[in-house]
């Protein structure tokens, strides 16, 4: 008969011994009694003071001593504890077992980033518990000099960290890390500070530079407000992540894991995992097709091998890895594809990290490392979850289930076979605990039936035991992982140095990101174009950089400009590229071959968007730019500029009029003019390109007196100076309010005000992207450019009349309005029916011609949707998206085309980007009302970069990248996207005709089958503009 482990010990148990600890006497229960080997259990012994009230977010403190006898007969409150059968699987094998609890989520990992709230409180809790064990365990019959710590998953990562970190590593002697270790990507992150500040903001508690005051407010929150639940987050750049995790803090985790491991004293270890770790992390109620599996394998491998790191060999390496998992050329049944997907997922989650952990432990210690793969499972152990698993196999939590003899995923009845495996695995573990050898005191464990579990070695770090009905010792672990490690080691950061080029300020050396081909490309990343705008230079115009004497290594991106990164925006940026006020750097990507023209290559300068408050040049890539832009005979420059308050602060007078970000961009363009010929570029053929706020910025730069002569052609993508969001008439007010928020009031003296503001920590002024509600029917950014009389002396429409005309490309995506309807999947038809006419009414003002306003509103609304008709929900939502798109970009873009045609004889090429790949949106797809080409999609295919999530470009995607990047580089080189001869073969016989005053709606639709169209958005934007002009006469 089997036995059930589905509940905690119940019923009446006699009292245990009374044991006197350092803090007082405890009495528990004798959970196993009346047998030869009786076992006492002491449950709920305090090892620290309760971390509540003022002790919330502080280091754990020793518990208060107590008088009398403390009853420890049940688990402490809030224990997250399932059935623990320690009394049978551990204690009857001559081992004292201790289980502990520690603070979780924000309570255990909250940080202020300074001494006010130490990081890694959960690890400090565990350390306090280990100190308690060291001081008291002898009273319970335990040997304080023979302590093994064991954990699973995040617990496995924790025990590994405890074994190498200075505050804890001398408190025990052996380690068992099950299905988790410190080399796993999820174990250590740098996102805790960012997450804590965002969480506080959710509760209306803004960090303003004073950590103590901030923490006092946070401590007032009810505990349940800060509680988190376990959720499976999507991988970021091929890296598995936890929502919050330990971080390198300089105090507990003092250095990166690899360095700590080298310094720590080695310990005997057991390290392992289940056969299919990826299985349970891919549960879904939806069926999975063979095509889904193929895509998922591709995406996982692409994430693990990003092109940014591994260069031109990436595709070859990816293909090699994919073929190890499954041969794409052969036909396979659906289950084979599922297992390939789950194996790839397991590699990303734990397989590679576990193999790496074994290797590093062997390289840094002479102590044995026993490696296992747990293959046994009982199909009933998964309960209802089994219906959502890709297939039923040994997966995450299986090993701990049979180590402890308890149902972890769901309660279930152990069969005799299950109990045999429990006896085997728990014996191997207790042997290790007692003798440092899972094979036992005599080096031969009878339950292994003649097999000896040999430790892994440096000669063969893959050697491991497979625990199953018939256990066996294996010499190769999942084949893929060792090859993967070798490939990654061989390819990572193996770029030869670039040429050394002498700029006006000094010599720079970068990397040759494309090499070994006929068209090689050099990348110089992180070249300063201005002095750091820090200290007294905060809120000042940019100044030329200082010169340098030595060779300046320009081999990686500079920090991002100060901003708050809004989750779930690419967390890898937070980890790899921190934010800083010192961010005025540019990147030059340049061909290594000789240009055809003696004047040099055409130059394309890209300026990123981000609502004037966020983003960086980093997101838009490097190798992809080399491939898609530079290999088409163009030098490409990407720049950064000050964002948010740092880039647009204004006192409203001459001291700090505003638009510092535009001055930064202008300084970068001056640097290009002075230095780009050294990189092979033609300073007399410079095209500036930007998207969203970057599109608005390049349009402004092309018409403002300070900058208009520094560029020759303009590409405004999904943003331009004719759009309402570009200009902001509320900057001075916003700055004064922000000053008040920081307790720095404006008292009539701008100089004194700025001096006080310069003392604030930079992060206290950082902003994040926020969707602002429309104001008087106009889209707005929180902060941005203003008419200041100096950089922008007049409204853009007036400046355009005075500026010299330039050839232009202007465009947007098909469904720009999706960005304004994120998270509206559940919107009702009735709500759509209300919102659509409200948006139209906001854009058609009644003030001038009330009668005509109503008529025009009705006309435009009917162009969107007939309010009187009954439509399906999809029709209503699409109409709402179109209305939002009109307000956001459609009308402004049509207006921009017209204004350019009216003020210049230079051509204006108008496009609408319709193509999209449904897999490109990542997490955002779950919030979109429907999938379509929307904001940012055009720049993705212009540069071949990933914006929303890492994904693999299909052949069709790459075809569109080749088409759009060719049209752009043709325009940069010749002023005509159709190319030198006016016929671009990739357009399949189409010619991109410029818009005209006779037909300003004429545009190219870019899609699988591109085509010229004579009407834009059914003529709605033109109807708005006609009304505007009618009422302004």
Residue at token pair 């992207």 = 769
CA distances from 1032 to 17, 220, 849, 997 (A): 93, 55, 10, 20
Which tokens sit at 779? Answer: 């889209």
Cβ 836 vs Cβ 820: under 8 Å: no
State how far the Cα of 266 lies from the Cα of 271, in Å rounded to an integer. 14
**Would you call 803 exposed, middle or buried from its count of C-beta atoms within 10 A (0-12, 13-18, 19+)?**
middle
Write the CA distances from 721 to 245, 271, 776, 900, 901, integer angstroms.
Answer: 43, 59, 18, 11, 15
DSSP secondary structure string for all residues of 164-203 = HSTTTTTS-SEEEEES--TTSTTT--S-HHHHHHHHHHHT
d(CA 849, CA 454): 89
The rounded distance, in Å, linking the Cα atoms of 93 and 111 is 41
Q: Which of 816, 882, 950, 984 is catalytic?
A: 816
CB neighbours of 388 closer than 8 A, spacing ≥ 6?
283, 284, 285
Q: Rounded CA gap, 454 and 270, in Å?
A: 11
Helices (H), 599-642: 623-628
DSSP 204: T
| Neighbouring-strand partners of residue 371 | 271
* Gap between the Cα atoms of 894 and 277, Å rounded: 53
What percent helix, strand, coil does the chain show, rounded to 5?
40, 15, 45
CA contacts within 13 A on the Cβ side of 952: 19
Before 4, cis peptide (omega within 30)? no
Per-residue b or e along 578-608, where b marks 16 or more CB atoms closer than 10 Å to that residue's CB: ebebbbbbbbbbbbbeebeeeebbbbbbbbb
Burial class (CB in 10 A: 0-12, 13-18, 19+), 918: exposed
C-alpha span between 916 and 914 (Å, rounded): 7
Task: Indicate if 692 belongs to the active site.
Answer: yes
The count of other CB atoms within 10 Å of the CB of residue 489 is: 9
How far from chain centre, in Å, is Cα 504? Answer: 37
Residues in the chain: 1033
Selected catalytic residue, list 935, 965, 984, 995: 935
Q: Does 199 participate in catalysis according to the annotation?
A: no
Q: Six-digit token pair at 484?
A: 């993967």
| CA proximity to 379, closest of 415, 338, 426 | 415
> Smallest Cα–Cα separation from 141: which of 39, 224, 43?
39
Q: How far apart are CA 177 and CA 159, in angstroms?
A: 7
What would you report as the CA-atom Rg of the chain, rounded to the nearest whole angstrom? 32
Answer yes or no: 935 catalytic: yes
**Looking at 692, 716, 933, 995, which residue is catalytic?**
692
Write b or e for each residue in 387-409: b if 16 or more Cβ atoms lie within 10 A of its Cβ, otherwise e: eebbebbbbbbbbbbbbbbbbbb
685 backbone dihedrals φ, ψ, rounded to 5°: -140, 70
> Where are the extended beta strands (E) located within 137-295?
148-152, 174-178, 269-274
* Alpha-carbon span 491 to 315, nearest angstrom: 12
Q: Which residues are catalytic?
A: 692, 816, 935
């Amino acid at each position: 008969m089997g036995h059930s482990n589905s509940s905690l010990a119940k019923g009446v148990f006699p009292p245990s011994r009374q044991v006197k600890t350092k803090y007082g006497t405890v009495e528990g229960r004798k959970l196993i009694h009346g047998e030869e080997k009786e076992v006492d259990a002491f449950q709920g012994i305090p090892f620290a003071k309760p971390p509540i009230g003022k002790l919330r977010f502080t280091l754990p403190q020793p518990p208060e001593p107590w008088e009398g006898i403390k009853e420890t007969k049940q688990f402490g409150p809030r224990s997250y504890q399932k059935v623990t059968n320690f009394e049978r699987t551990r204690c009857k094998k001559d081992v004292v077992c201790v289980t502990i609890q520690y603070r979780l989520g924000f309570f255990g990992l909250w940080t202020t980033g300074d001494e006010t709230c130490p990081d890694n409180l959960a690890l400090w809790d565990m350390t306090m518990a280990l100190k308690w064990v060291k001081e008291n365990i002898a009273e319970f019959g335990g040997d304080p000099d023979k302590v093994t710590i064991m954990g699973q998953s995040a617990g496995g990562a924790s025990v590994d960290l405890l074994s190498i970190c200075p505050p804890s590593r001398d408190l025990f002697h052996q380690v068992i890390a099950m299905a988790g270790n410190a080399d796993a990507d999820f174990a250590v992150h740098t996102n805790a500070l960012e997450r804590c500040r965002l969480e506080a903001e959710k509760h209306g508690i803004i960090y303003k530079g004073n950590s103590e005051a901030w923490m006092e407010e946070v401590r007032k929150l009810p505990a349940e407000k800060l509680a988190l639940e376990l959720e499976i987050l999507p991988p970021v750049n091929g890296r598995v992540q936890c929502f919050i995790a330990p971080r390198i803090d300089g105090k507990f985790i003092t250095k990166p894991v690899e360095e700590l491991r080298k310094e720590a004293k080695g310990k005997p270890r057991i390290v392992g995992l289940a056969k299919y770790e990826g299985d349970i992390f891919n549960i879904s109620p939806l069926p999975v097709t063979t095509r889904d599996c193929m895509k998922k394998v591709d995406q996982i491998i692409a994430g693990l091998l990003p092109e940014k790191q591994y260069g031109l060999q990436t595709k070859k390496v990816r293909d090699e890895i994919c073929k190890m998992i499954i041969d794409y050329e052969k036909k396979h049944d659906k289950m084979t594809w599922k297992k390939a997907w789950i194996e790839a997922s397991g590699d990303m989650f734990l397989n590679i990290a576990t193999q790496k952990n074994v290797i590093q432990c062997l390289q840094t210690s002479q102590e044995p490392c026993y490696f296992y793969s747990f293959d046994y499972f009982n199909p009933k152990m998964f309960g209802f979850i089994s219906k959502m698993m890709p297939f039923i196999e040994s997966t995450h939590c299986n090993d701990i289930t049979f180590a402890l003899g308890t149902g972890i995923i769901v309660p279930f009845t152990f069969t005799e076979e299950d109990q045999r495996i429990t006896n085997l695995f728990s014996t191997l573990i207790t042997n290790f605990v007692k003798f440092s050898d899972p094979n036992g005191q005599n080096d031969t464990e009878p339950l292994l039936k003649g097999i000896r579990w040999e430790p892994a070695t440096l000669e063969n770090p893959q050697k491991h035991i497979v625990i199953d009905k018939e256990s066996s010792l294996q010499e190769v672990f999942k084949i893929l992982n060792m090859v993967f490690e070798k490939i990654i080691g061989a390819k990572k950061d193996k770029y030869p140095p670039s040429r050394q080029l002498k700029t006006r300020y000094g010599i720079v050396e970068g990397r040759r990101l494309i090499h070994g081909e006929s068209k090689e490309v050099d990348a110089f990343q992180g070249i300063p174009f201005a002095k750091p705008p820090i200290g007294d230079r905060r809120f000042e115009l940019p100044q030329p950089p200082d010169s340098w004497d030595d060779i300046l290594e320009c081999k990686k991106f500079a920090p991002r400009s100060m901003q708050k990164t809004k989750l779930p925006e690419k967390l890898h940026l937070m980890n790899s590229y921190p934010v800083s006020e010192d961010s005025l750097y540019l990147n030059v990507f340049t061909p290594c071959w000789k240009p055809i023209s003696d004047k040099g290559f055409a130059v394309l300068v890209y300026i990123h968007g981000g609502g004037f408050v966020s983003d960086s040049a980093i997101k838009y890539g490097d190798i992809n730019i080399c491939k898609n832009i530079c290999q088409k005979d163009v030098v490409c420059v990407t720049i950064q500029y000050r964002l948010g308050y740092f880039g647009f602060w204004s006192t409203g007078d001459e001291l700090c009029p505003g638009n510092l970000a535009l001055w930064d961009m202008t300084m970068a363009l001056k640097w290009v003019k002075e230095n780009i010929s050294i990189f092979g570029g033609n300073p007399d053929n410079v095209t500036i390109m930007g998207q969203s706020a970057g599109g608005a910025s390049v349009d402004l730069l092309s018409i403002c007196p300070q900058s208009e002569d520094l560029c020759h052609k303009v590409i405004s993508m999904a943003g331009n100076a004719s759009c309402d969001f570009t200009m902001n008439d509320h900057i001075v007010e916003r700055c004064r309010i922000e000053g008040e928020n920081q307790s720095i009031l404006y008292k009539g003296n701008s100089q004194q005000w700025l001096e006080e503001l310069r003392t604030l920590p930079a992060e206290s002024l950082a902003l994040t992207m926020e969707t602002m509600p429309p104001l008087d029917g106009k889209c707005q950014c929180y902060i941005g450019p203003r008419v200041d009389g100096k950089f922008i002396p007049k409204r853009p429409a007036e400046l355009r009349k005075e500026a010299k005309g330039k050839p232009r490309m202007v465009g947007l995506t098909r469904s720009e309005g999706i960005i304004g309807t994120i998270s509206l999947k559940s919107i009702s038809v009735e709500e759509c029916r209300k919102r659509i006419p409200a948006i139209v009414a906001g854009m058609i003002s009644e003030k001038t011609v009330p009668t005509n306003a109503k008529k025009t509103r009705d006309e435009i609304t009917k162009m969107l949707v007939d309010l009187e008709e009954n439509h399906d929900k999809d029709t209503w939502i699409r109409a709402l998206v179109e209305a939002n798109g009109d307000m956001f970009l459609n009308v402004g873009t049509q207006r921009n085309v017209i204004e350019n045609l009216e003020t210049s004889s230079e051509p204006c090429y108008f496009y609408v980007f319709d193509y999209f790949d449904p897999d490109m949106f990542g997490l955002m797809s779950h919030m979109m009302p429907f999938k379509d080409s929307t904001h940012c999609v055009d720049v993705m295919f212009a540069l071949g970069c990933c914006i929303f999530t890492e994904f693999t470009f299909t052949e069709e995607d790459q075809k569109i990248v080749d088409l759009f990047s060719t049209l752009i580089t043709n325009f940069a080189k010749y002023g005509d996207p159709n190319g030198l001869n006016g016929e671009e073969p990739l357009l399949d016989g189409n010619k991109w005709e410029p818009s005209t005053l006779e037909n300003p709606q004429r545009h190219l639709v870019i899609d699988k089958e591109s085509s010229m169209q004579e009407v834009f958005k059914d003529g709605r934007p033109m109807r708005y503009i006609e009304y505007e002009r009618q009422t302004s006469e």
